[in-house]
Structure 1
């Protein structure tokens, strides 16, 4: 996460770890939860999402 401070100097940054890894939540719930988190923090679409591993699929 060393890059986040550098990026945050020129852009808004929101770092997120999803809930329920072991419970295998449905993809729709993960997307809804992320949208709600972004909205509650004052972010508005369009979003540029960057995901790692399975997070890349959810970002897509």
Structure 2
């Protein structure tokens, strides 16, 4: 079964919060049970349309 981000205060919310807090993407991936950073990036981009780095940059604006 494919892993998704979820929504709201679940895993998706945790990933977004950690990105806004400036945590390293590789550490976020490990903390949220993704196999590696590239897996998190693929899932995040497929569900949000942005890479984690692009999301982080946009949330700073």
Q: TM-score range by the shorter chain?
A: 0.3 to 0.5
TM-score, length of structure 1 as denominator length: 0.37
TM-score, length of structure 2 as denominator length: 0.36
Q: Considering only CA atoms, is the larger Rg found in Structure 1 or Structure 2? A: 1
